Structure 1
């Protein structure tokens, strides 16, 4: 079942909504993180009053979520140009995710800086080879995503992943929500240096949206994750998203727990 269809069948609550997560959106014993973060964003947009565009999110993946989950949100502060909203997703085992979203209107500025170009060795989307997930790959990857390799295969393993990604079938959700849904789709960047069977878990994720109105062609987004550090079971990685034209859409940072 698509993300849009799940939202369409959501159960309304007095202060939010509830959905049942299908097995196809799972990642091990929990729901795929981008799915849960997108649920939180939907709840945040329902707090009432007109909201400016989303510009930043700070997400904590607190615990596993599966089956029936409930999403709620509350407004923290409404300023002249920005609104802060706190959202929470809870499952049968308690809190699964907390998030703080910042919605901000554009303001005049003399500064213009853009140092977020896609990699120079990028393989064009139409020339990129498809990635065929193995049977043991996460369910959400096998059922809901189309993925293509976006960089040439390196001579040595490195903590750097870059892929073209889009939803299948074509998404029926608006681009900003789709961007949040897909921005966490890559596995941790440290994974190529590890035993593939090593348990891993995302802990926190901060993402800054670089445009108020993301757009792309045919649903394709370019995702890249690069690990900077891994010691004592903790890894830190940088994350970037571009649209099909190579325009920067989002930049993020994530902490990963490595259990082995």
Structure 2
């Protein structure tokens, strides 16, 4: 059975009151839960309908509180709206259990005398030339993405992963929803430190957008996950996303549970 187009699926799941309800699509799982990028994109779709004419998404703070399976329900509410920004909270429930909580900041740009650009992408193999990434023991959701190794031969030399990632079913998607779907698609950098494969689970995710509208060529985004510390079954990592031209698009961090 063919999986429905993601854009149509998310649009159809959202009612006039801004509540989103849908069954987790087949193949969009990571272990016993829905893929974190999918649940975050669903919450974003509910959040963007919490008020009229919201400015672009600038930041999100996310807690993956519990597993999501079966039917998921997302509800959002306006926490505060000012002249140029809006704070919207969202919650996802799986059945009767709370499973996801987040706060989205939507803000318009304004004139400022302060200007500092984030670093451009490091030197990597372009996506058109990069070899396809081998995905042994990969979660089910990875079947919906194309992966290419941006730095061949360097995985395992430090606690960092750097790969090109492209969502296959991206037609008609809100560009921010697409970026959130892609943004959690790499394993943690701590994977390179594991002596044998084992489960990992994102616990907290912070992502800051650096552009008013994410754009790239041919769907390719350069993702980097770099572990800063791993101890006691938890890791903390820095994350970055660039477009296909090497322009910075987002930065963030994650706290990850490691069961190995």
TM-score band, normalised by shorter chain:
over 0.9
- What does residue 148 of structure 1 align with? 148
Calculate the TM-score normalised by the size of structure 2. Answer: 0.94
Q: Is 1-10 or 189-198 further displaced after alignment? A: 1-10
| Alpha-carbon offset, residue 112 of structure 1 | 1.4
Say if 1:25 and 1:113 are closer, same or farther in 2 by CA, change over 3 A.
same
The one of 98, 111, 120 aligned to 1:117: 120
- What does residue 94 of structure 2 align with? 91
- What does residue 229 of structure 1 align with? 229
Gaps of 5+ in 1: none
Q: Is 224-233 or 124-133 further displaced after alignment? A: 124-133
The one of 115, 130, 134 aligned to 1:128: 130
| 1:24 aligned counterpart, secondary structure | coil
Say if 1:155 and 1:212 are closer, same or farther in 2 by CA, change over 3 A.
closer
| Alpha-carbon offset, residue 9 of structure 1 | 3.6
1 CA distance for matches of 2:134 and 2:49? 37
Say if 1:93 and 1:199 are closer, same or farther in 2 by CA, change over 3 A.
farther
2 CA distance for matches of 1:52 and 1:11? 19
Q: Is 183-192 or 154-163 further displaced after alignment? A: 154-163
Is this contact kept in 2: 1:26–1:138, CA < 8 A? yes
- What does residue 68 of structure 1 align with? 71
2 CA distance for matches of 1:51 and 1:14? 16
Is this contact kept in 2: 1:23–1:139, CA < 8 A? no
Is this contact kept in 2: 1:34–1:184, CA < 8 A? yes
2 CA distance for matches of 1:46 and 1:82? 15
Calculate the TM-score normalised by the size of structure 1. Answer: 0.94
| Alpha-carbon offset, residue 167 of structure 1 | 1.1
Root-mean-square deviation (CA), in Å?
1.6
Say if 1:12 and 1:241 are closer, same or farther in 2 by CA, change over 3 A.
same
Is this contact kept in 2: 1:205–1:254, CA < 8 A? yes
How many residue pairs end up in the alignment? Answer: 257
Q: Deviations over 1:95-152 (max 9, x none)?
A: 11111000011111111111322113x1111110011323x3111102x000000013
Say if 1:155 and 1:171 are closer, same or farther in 2 by CA, change over 3 A.
closer
- What does residue 255 of structure 2 align with? 255
- What does residue 213 of structure 1 align with? 213
Is this contact kept in 2: 1:59–1:206, CA < 8 A? yes
| Alpha-carbon offset, residue 239 of structure 1 | 0.5
Is this contact kept in 2: 1:67–1:91, CA < 8 A? yes
Alignment of 1:1-260 (within 5 A): 1=3, 2-10=5-13, 12=15, 14-92=17-95, 94-120=97-123, 122-134=124-136, 136-142=137-143, 144-154=144-154, 157-260=157-260
| Alpha-carbon offset, residue 200 of structure 1 | 1.3
Q: Is 207-216 or 193-202 further displaced after alignment? A: 193-202
Q: Tell me which stretches of 4 or more aligned residues in structure 1 moved more than 6 Å.
A: none
Is this contact kept in 2: 1:171–1:219, CA < 8 A? no
